[in-house]
Amino acid sequence: MKQERQFFGTDGIRGCVGKFPITADFVLKLGWAMGQVLQEEIKEASKTILIGKDTRISGYMFESALEAGITSAGVNIALLGPMPTSAVAYLTRTLHAQIGIVISASHNGYNDNGIKFFSSEGYKLPEKWELAIESYLTRPMQTVDAQSLGKAWRIRDAGGRYIEFCKSSIPHHASFENLKLVIDCANGATYHIAPSVFQELGAKVTVIYATPDGLNINENCGSTHPSTIQHHVLKEKADVGIAFDGDGDRVIMVDHLGEILDGDEVLYVIIKGLIEADRLKGGVVGTFMTNKGLEVALQEMGVPFLRVPVGEQYVIEALIKKDWLLGGESSGHIIDRRVTTTDDGIIAALQVLQSMHVTGKSLHELKRGFKKIPQRLVNVKCDNNIDLNQIEIVRALKEAEAKLGKTGRVLLRKSGTEPVIRIMVESDDIALVETLIDSLKIAVESAASHVT
């Protein structure tokens, strides 16, 4: 029987700051537990864990707690400071650390935070490690002898290293000097990275929301609020708008007409550029949320497509298994295994600009050929203890599936990062989409009201 994880979700451990388990004392012990597991699993005498974070104010507290816990287990720490999640994965590999840790709640507000881990190869930790960490969390915390304590230091040039890596992901002869960009850093971890990357590649860059104060991360800006960058692209008469989320692992883009490109469209544009350059290998992995229009467009281009459950870890697992290179989610998580081991907003945006460079076409022109099927997504806030097999939910879901038939899709799932139930309906019949969304929402809200 498969062992259930108590604390780890689809993207590490996440929650509201000050409420268990996102508390200083828990994170202290989490650091110690990680150190204990590392001591068991890795035989090298000297072991190092990298720690990066986004810009939310609680990051200082949790960085200190992790530092104390990890060093108490006799493991060294290298502190990166504010750094995109994907940068931590990259630096964990290139600096030959055994583990990378990111303190972030991604696209959530400042009142949330979380801890996620990367292996030495830059991938998410195997489940067996997560279970081992949880096992240690039930044991008394013990500190090694003073002479065996871990040491901690800061890596001063981490940002510069990652900037150079991002620039190296496109051909050295490529230049974006004819492009005018607006970049929205969401007052998050890309604020001191993304502007330099695009400016050093020649683009004329207008930067917005790059003044984090610990409280304004993702606040009415970034990839979760695309209307903000829409406004600025039109105001600046820019060619492209690029909006990241708080930890920089997702990207949403805007063309010169102010039209938004979600993750599906970003992926489509990257694929078109690779086909033009005759560099596409294998197929593409999406999720159950991926718009049917992308699947149809890829079929027309002769590109295989595979759907997996929502979550970038499932996309990455499928890409590795199939030995394919590209995958992503509608939310803007794009994985390009030619370059990275995880989803990376900056790398994805660079690949889109490279597609524009290779084809000589605008972003608006490149997205043609992808006809999105009308799709509506709503989030119903409720306790994630809700049972989705309750009678009223099952009945509403079956009725929706029956009305859609083979002409549409419906998906209802618990979020792995927020206390919400996500409802998605997709169909060419827009009126039907709205009707079914309403009925499913009512069913979920009714079931939620019964949860004690």
Q: Left if phi > 0, otherwise alpha if psi is -120 to 50, otherwise beta: which for 360?
A: left
Partners of 283 in the β-ladder: none
Give the sign of the dihedral formed by CA 323, CA 328, CA 333, CA 336: positive
* Residues in CB range of 153: below 8 A, 6 or more apart: 77, 78, 79
- CA terminus-to-terminus distance, the chain: 28
Selecting among 72, 86, 106, 355, the annotated active-site residue is 106
Beta-sheet pairing, 334-336 with 326-328: antiparallel
d(CA 82, CA 248): 11
Quote the strand ranges of 209-344, DSSP E. 240-244, 251-254, 260-261, 284-287, 305-308, 326-328, 334-336
Q: Which of these, 257, 258, 250, lies nearest to 230 by C-alpha position?
A: 258
d(CA 348, CA 259): 18
d(CA 198, CA 185): 13
User: 137 is written with which tokens?
Assistant: 């969390």
* Residues in CB range of 146: below 8 A, 6 or more apart: none
Q: Which of these, 318, 232, 267, 287, lies nearest to 424 by C-alpha position?
A: 287
The values of phi and psi at residue 450, to 5°, are: -95, -10
Partners of 305 in the β-ladder: 284
The residue assigned the tokens 């200190």 is 64
Exposure of 298 in the CB half-sphere (CA atoms within 13 A):
27
Q: Which of these, 367, 340, 343, 369, lies nearest to 356 by C-alpha position?
A: 367
Residue 106 a catalytic site member? yes
Write out the DSSP string of 390-439.
SHHHHHHHHHHHHHHTTSEEEEEEE-SSSSEEEEEEEES-HHHHHHHHHH
Q: Catalytic residue positions? A: 106
